[in-house]
Structure 1
């Protein structure tokens, strides 16, 4: 079998990737995360995993980068016929197909069964992840498994290897039927007596004889123990009487010693209590002295800091006047920029409305053409369809306004009302009561007894030479409020223009009408569908509705223009498209000017904000310095009132020091007196004497109990003859021992025969595995030189693979280095693949996924000689590597994978 090509789609990081394979040598290279191992997995799963598999296995294949279910297509050659298997892994809706170059085409279950037959997979395609790992495990070297035990690989394929070798005449040593029959009888007899671990089986004849002998020995031991117990009871009673007398003599002395220790402990506790009180008094005196010293230092520090704070105030007040002048100049520049921006914003709105109208005209003429085309195809619309068209016309004539749009409009109007109230609250009023000269406000004459409200900076002209600038609301706060109110109004105008309505009331009415019409259209459409109207009827109705909607939209857009803005409605599509270009260019030009003006306004606003912030910050610094000076003065005066002047504080500190010295001397005397009593030693004595009392009391109680128990035992057991019981138990044990020895000899004989037959079986297995070992050695010689040998042993319980290099001792597989394990396992895989390839037209693919991670660069070069030898013997070699340059000498067909792009977030 040879793999010809692989295509994967929507498989993890692969959107669609195709790889063509050489019949002999292949190298797939790429950095980490480029998807090499994913290709190896996809190739394996299309061969052995059912397409309808779901759960974690299917989810692990799904791509987070590319939509759609994972798909894999594989072309391979088997026995001179080219097959193509394609699977779509989408759970229960998954599909599988298998086709051949001779015309066979199978689907789903038939395809799965035929594929399993081609792969010699007797159990069919694998369903679970643990089953997947066992499929072609000797041919698929997954990343991280290259150093697994090689003997286990051979054991998994043992039956197929032996059958293949026997067909080739390379494993001719076999057992005869008689040998096998005798072996089975010996095995059956051995199984009756021994477990699989070689231990005696429960309830067997040998086990029963052994148990009977053990019981007889126990009975003899019991007889001897009873005789010994009577002797021990006599001695125990004698010793208990002596112990009782000694314990009763020791009790009075222990009581006197305990009373002396308890008296000393009482005195020590009194001293300890007094010492704790004295420590508390000393601690309080020390704290009082520290508090006096700390507050004296704090008062002195406050006086120094207060002097420094007063010196910092003078230069700060001088700088404040300069900053106020700078802030006023910046405010004037910001107001001028704002006025210019408002003018350009109005022009931009007009240009945008004109452009929106031209776009609506183009849309309308396009819809007209679509409607005319549908009208030519439609011949008859009647009944319910006519009513549906009328409803759709009515709906299309209304602007598209959603409940969310109404919520937005209501919110904007409420916010504008709040801003108007805020402006009114901070605005200023002016009224001319009497004047001998003309008075005007912002160029408009101010009449007597007429009141005007000012919400923005205004200029008052009195006569010919007096000009006054009025700043209502404190300047910057009013400006911010006006900007917020103007921005909200602009947003409301834009929202109304987008919806092509003039007010919230109109939008509410239109939205209510739209809901009624939409419900009616939905009901009528359902009836029309139930009656089975032709598709053309729906298309014509939709086209006509679109035409009417676009006409209404164009009309609304034209009506939204201010007196038409000098534009005439276009007559056809070409005129509308020309109008789109003209209005678009005009909108772009005015929009550019508006953006420039907006930048100027933002810059002037930043300058004003910066000047205002500098003034505010400086004023805060002056206030902070004043506050600091005041706080320092208050703190110093408060502490001085509490602790007095410097002389009084010094005297108080001296008295506190004397008190600490006196209390420390008292505490030291009490501590020395307590140390002389040594309360810890007294406590140990008390505990020791209490233990002595308890021990002697326990001895008295125990001795009395022992004496009573011994008397009772001697009274009860005195009627038996212990010697006669011992003789009877001895005779019974000798009889059971004879029976046990007979069963033991029979079991040992059967065990010996089993061992001899097992050793014979091992010899036969060695002769069977010798051809496999010779092939492995041939590959190892290509790697390590002539004389390198491998030995493979199949045991009943253990299996072993060893390596012998020239001039070195033999090493078992588990004792080899990581690199040597990879190399020996690879040689064994190649040898097994070469033997099993005879069942697959002389060739099998063998894949190595970064399989030589522990092999040094020099060995990798030699490994290529071994891989090339396998390719010349008919195997198809597929190597996946992060360092493809290391395999340049293999002269393989190379495919390089680039890192897959990730979606940005």
Structure 2
């Protein structure tokens, strides 16, 4: 296919413009905004945009100087047949006409669009939203020269592979059977696995996998049930044993606790009894000491009263002056007076013969049968009644202590008074304590009672020590704690027995152990079915991989003609060392790279100028391969496609473009700097 001429009317800034294309090389030059790109855009839209197109595309085509509908007339050749294409863009009133010039055959409107698609090699007209991307590998729009061209040939991919296979010869062609097998294996793998390698939903492998998971879960459920029953049976037996142990231990502990409490009660009773005995011992000891003291006083008074010269001493003393009195006489008189006063102080005796109720003397509790000698004013309490005890002699003694003694005129009066007092005191003591025989009897009885109480206290202390109350208390606390523990254990055992018994007696329609065996068998069958499906799927996957590897090997051989053509064009730029790397994977071209002596450089890491040059070489090579389906030629439009290439490299580009033209391609170059292409043998059109 070659473009012959183009005429535009009312198209953007062009009111009317007509140009003729050279069959090999055409250079369209002019400053910016002179409409260079607009002309090739018009040719492209005539070929691919529907004449009824509306919207922003229609508005973009309208003339800037009027509202007349844009009109494009394109004359081109396809496989040696000349055609004239006319399109007027006016929305629903648009018009299209295709005419074969050598036969005058004509198509109008929709038929013209269908006929045009057939002439271009398409089964149907291109949709409006895809029109701009058509022939992206041939129409290098301004700013798109640095884009990887292998990503712009999607619509031409199948045709390109067919042409490469045809150029590679029958040696690299796979048989129809191989193709069917490869397609079958690939289809089976796609139906079985997702893109991530997981089983696809609805596939046999996924079904067996689901069944395996279900069987595994069912077996786990059955095992959990039987394990729960086994555990319940074991727990039930343990709880029964624990209940029996606790039931046996509790009575034993209770009996021992009762025994310990009895022993502690006995110890407390002995301790209380000991306290009472010690109190009685203290009272008896005090009584004994009082009797001994009183006896000693009586003996002293008796000796004083029985002096042989007690009656004559006053007469002898009358001849002695007061200042020369015998000091011994004065001393005896003082002793008698002192003893007499002491006797008078002890003149009251309190004896509790019988009765009951709380009785205290000066705050000290009294017991029935107790005798107390009152030596001073005392307080007696009987229940709520309060008494004060004070003997008359004590009162008189008190008054005498406060009365000022009258001075005696003679020693005779003092002696007589002392004798009289001694006699009175002796008589009082004898009346209170009895004679010597009686006093000795009372002292002996008090001593005997004291000794007896002391022995009882010692015996009681020995019995109390033998009981070891501290040990009994500690043992009681320990046994009470053990009893609490055993009672708690008994309660817990009863609860566990009830819980496990409820689980063991639970109603069930099937035998859980039989269910587990059945679930185990189902799992084994599911595992076997899954193994079979997985093995089959893996085998299919392996065969698909083998066919894919073989197809890749064949694809690499497919790319050899294309890589060779790219190398021819790169040699014009970089010399013999300039080569390209390209691979065909899964039916798509990938991995475009420039190979230089310094190493391979991926397309995306190249400089802007190098990307433009490598991209142009690839586009020329692809167009050369595809041209076989278009009568040996295809137009390539480069719209400012080498803006990043330095001037020295532009000269090398001339050689590459001229090589493409010699090989039958039609090259159309648009540039703002036509002087850079002055040495290029091209038809030049300046705007």
TM-score, normalization by structure 1: 0.42
Rounded to whole Å, the distance in 2 between the matches of 1:50 and 1:128 is 7
Matches within 5 A, 1:347-746: 717=503, 719=505, 732-746=522-536
The answer for the alignment partner of 2:211 in structure 1 is: 212
The answer for the alignment partner of 2:585 in structure 1 is: 795
Matches within 5 A, 1:44-63: 44-63=44-63
The reply on whether 1:847 has 2:633 as its aligned counterpart is no
Q: Could you say what secondary structure the match of 1:803 adopts?
A: strand
From the superposition, tell whether residues 824 and 715 of structure 1 become closer, same or farther in structure 2 (CA, over 3 Å).
farther
Q: CA offsets per residue over residues 498-552 of structure 1, 9 Å max, x none? A: xxxxxxxxxxxxxxxxxxxxxxxxxxxxxxxxxxxxxxxxxxxxxxxxxxxxxxx
Rounded to whole Å, the distance in 2 between the matches of 1:103 and 1:749 is 59
Q: CA offsets per residue over residues 322-362 of structure 1, 9 Å max, x none? A: xxxxxxxxxxxxxxxxxxxxxxxxxxxxxxxxxxxxxxxxx
8 A Cα contact 2:167 2:561, kept in partner: no
The answer for the alignment partner of 2:686 in structure 1 is: 896
Rounded to whole Å, the distance in 2 between the matches of 1:790 and 1:48 is 32
Could you say which structure has the larger radius of gyration? 2
The answer for the alignment partner of 1:133 in structure 2 is: 132
From the superposition, tell whether residues 856 and 749 of structure 1 become closer, same or farther in structure 2 (CA, over 3 Å).
same
Q: CA offsets per residue over residues 758-795 of structure 1, 9 Å max, x none? A: 11122222222221121111111212221322233333
From the superposition, tell whether residues 205 and 30 of structure 1 become closer, same or farther in structure 2 (CA, over 3 Å).
same
The answer for the alignment partner of 1:883 in structure 2 is: 673
**How many Å apart are 1:129 and its aligned residue?**
3.2
Rounded to whole Å, the distance in 2 between the matches of 1:712 and 1:823 is 90
The answer for the alignment partner of 1:65 in structure 2 is: 65
Rounded to whole Å, the distance in 2 between the matches of 1:224 and 1:808 is 68
The answer for the alignment partner of 2:94 in structure 1 is: 94
Rounded to whole Å, the distance in 2 between the matches of 1:196 and 1:187 is 12
Q: CA offsets per residue over residues 651-685 of structure 1, 9 Å max, x none? A: xxxxxxxxxxxxxxxxxxxxxxxxxxxxxxxxxxx
8 A Cα contact 2:581 2:595, kept in partner: no
8 A Cα contact 1:53 1:127, kept in partner: no
Alignment match of 1:779 (pick from 569, 573, 596):
569
Q: CA offsets per residue over residues 248-292 of structure 1, 9 Å max, x none? A: xxxxxxxxxxxxxxxxxxxxxxxxxxxxxxxxxxxxxxxxxxxxx
**How many Å apart are 1:37 and its aligned residue?**
1.8
Q: CA offsets per residue over residues 832-866 of structure 1, 9 Å max, x none? A: 21122233343221001122344444433432322
The answer for the alignment partner of 1:394 in structure 2 is: none
From the superposition, tell whether residues 713 and 200 of structure 1 become closer, same or farther in structure 2 (CA, over 3 Å).
farther
User: Which 5+ residue runs of structure 2 have no aligned equivalent?
Assistant: 236-494
Q: CA offsets per residue over residues 571-610 of structure 1, 9 Å max, x none? A: xxxxxxxxxxxxxxxxxxxxxxxxxxxxxxxxxxxxxxxx
From the superposition, tell whether residues 107 and 788 of structure 1 become closer, same or farther in structure 2 (CA, over 3 Å).
same
Rounded to whole Å, the distance in 2 between the matches of 1:122 and 1:14 is 33
8 A Cα contact 2:114 2:124, kept in partner: no
8 A Cα contact 2:208 2:530, kept in partner: yes
From the superposition, tell whether residues 225 and 77 of structure 1 become closer, same or farther in structure 2 (CA, over 3 Å).
same
8 A Cα contact 1:27 1:880, kept in partner: yes
Q: Could you say what secondary structure the match of 2:66 adopts?
A: coil
The answer for the alignment partner of 2:155 in structure 1 is: 156
8 A Cα contact 2:107 2:115, kept in partner: no
8 A Cα contact 2:582 2:593, kept in partner: no
Rounded to whole Å, the distance in 2 between the matches of 1:129 and 1:729 is 59
Q: Which has the higher helix share?
A: 1
Alignment match of 2:658 (pick from 849, 868, 876):
868
8 A Cα contact 1:162 1:171, kept in partner: no
From the superposition, tell whether residues 214 and 173 of structure 1 become closer, same or farther in structure 2 (CA, over 3 Å).
same
**How many Å apart are 1:197 and its aligned residue?**
5.3
8 A Cα contact 1:171 1:768, kept in partner: no
Pairs aligned (count)? 423
The reply on whether 1:764 has 2:554 as its aligned counterpart is yes
8 A Cα contact 2:566 2:621, kept in partner: yes
Q: Could you say what secondary structure the match of 2:555 adopts?
A: helix
Rounded to whole Å, the distance in 1 between the matches of 2:497 and 2:87 is 92
Q: Could you say what secondary structure the match of 1:202 adopts?
A: coil
TM-score, normalization by structure 2: 0.54
Name which structure has the greater RCO, CA cutoff 8 Å, separation 6+.
1
Matches within 5 A, 1:70-469: 70-99=70-99, 102=102, 104=104, 106-109=106-109, 111-124=112-125, 126-130=126-130, 132-165=131-164, 170=169, 172-187=171-186, 189-195=188-194, 198-222=197-221
The answer for the alignment partner of 2:24 in structure 1 is: 24
8 A Cα contact 2:51 2:96, kept in partner: yes
Q: Which has the higher strand share?
A: 2
Q: CA offsets per residue over residues 467-509 of structure 1, 9 Å max, x none? A: xxxxxxxxxxxxxxxxxxxxxxxxxxxxxxxxxxxxxxxxxxx
The answer for the alignment partner of 1:366 in structure 2 is: none
Matches within 5 A, 1:34-53: 34-53=34-53
8 A Cα contact 1:801 1:812, kept in partner: yes
Rounded to whole Å, the distance in 1 between the matches of 2:14 and 2:618 is 33
The answer for the alignment partner of 1:749 in structure 2 is: 539
Rounded to whole Å, the distance in 2 between the matches of 1:96 and 1:69 is 13
